Amino acid sequence: MIQVLDLKFKEYITAEQIQARVREIAEELNTKYSGKNPLFLGILNGSFMFIADIFKNVNIPCEVSFLKINSYQDTSSTEKIKELIGLNQSIEGRHVIILEDIVDTGRTLDYILRTVLAQKPASVEVATLLYKPSATIIPVPIHYVGFEIENQFVLGYGLDYNGYGRNSNSILIKVDE
Ligand SMILES: O=P(O)(O)OC[C@H]1O[C@H](OP(=O)(O)OP(=O)(O)O)[C@H](O)[C@@H]1O
Ligand SMILES: Nc1nc2[nH]cnc2c(=O)[nH]1
């Protein structure tokens, strides 16, 4: 059992499973985006490890940029999306690949997609490490899913509980007491 602040967690997806799946997704992207000079748009904070590991395994010419969005407090969505750092470069005419750590209710991704599409990119796809289909309230298009997971709070590999627990190589799941 692993304690983070006042909650208990156990290992759910190992570091090896994550790295293997990230390499598979990066390979798909290498093939699909060859010759297209894609722009990876990483959604901070939670995705920073996923962004880095995808980027290390992508071997075609490409760029990376970041959006910083926040809506979670404790273990649930505040339903209020805060944009803390916005887009700082033009994405018009670019092939954009959004990199998210997790799609839960879908609210964050819905907001991001509206923001991105307003700037007339050539195309937009979404890659998320984790997807909770049974938690989704706003349906959003997702093209690359690392792992579909159950509707329970998770952390690690960049994902936090009130700022803590991001520095785990594996994904941990909350244990009910
Ligand atoms: O589908 P949703 O219910 O909108 O949840 C998904 C979002 O929640 C997390 O962000 P969080 O607000 O925790 O910010 P952080 O990434 O900075 O920790 C995660 O990184 C996603 O962006
Ligand atoms: N850490 C964490 N952040 C989230 N944001 C949306 N769902 C989750 C979750 O299960 N864990």
Task: Answer yes or no: is 5 within a domain.
Answer: no
Atom of ligand 1 nearest to the CA of 101: 20
Residue 6 known to be catalytic:
no
Q: Is residue 144 part of a domain?
A: yes
User: Which two structure tokens, joined as six digits, stand for 173?
Assistant: 């799941």
**Domain with 22 in it:** 15-70+80-151
d(CA 137, CA 118): 22
Closest ligand, as measured to the CA of 104 = 1
Cα distances (Å, whole numbers) of residue 147 to 8, 128, 150, 162: 22, 8, 10, 23
Distance, in Å, from the CA atom of 25 to the CA atom of 50, rounded to the nearest integer, reads 11
Reading the chain (177 residues) residue by residue, the pLDDT tens digits are: 999 999 999 999 999 999 999 999 999 999 999 999 999 999 999 999 999 999 999 999 999 999 998 876 777 776 777 767 778 788 999 999 999 999 999 999 999 999 999 999 999 999 999 999 999 999 999 999 999 999 999 999 999 999 999 999 999 999 987
Is 160 domain-assigned? no
Query: Does the predicted model carry a pTM greater than 0.90?
Result: yes
Would 176 be classed as within a structural domain? no
Maximum distance among all Cα pairs of the chain, rounded to whole angstroms = 51
Distance between CA atoms of residues 62 and 39, nearest Å: 6
> Is 49 inside a domain boundary?
yes
Nearest ligand to residue 83 Cα: 1
Ligand 2 pocket member 102 (CB < 6 A): yes
- Residue 167: inside a domain: no
| 136 lies in some domain | yes
Catalytic residue among 104, 110, 160, 176, which? 104
At 99, is the secondary structure helix, strand, or coil? Answer: strand
Give, to the nearest 10 degrees, the angle between helix 15-32 and helix 48-57: 50
Q: Is the CB of 160 under 6 A from ligand 1?
A: yes
The CATH number for 23's domain is 3.40.50.2020
Total number of domains constituting the chain: 1
**ipTM for this prediction:** 0.96
What are the tokens at 161?
């509980």
Quick check: is 146 in a domain? yes
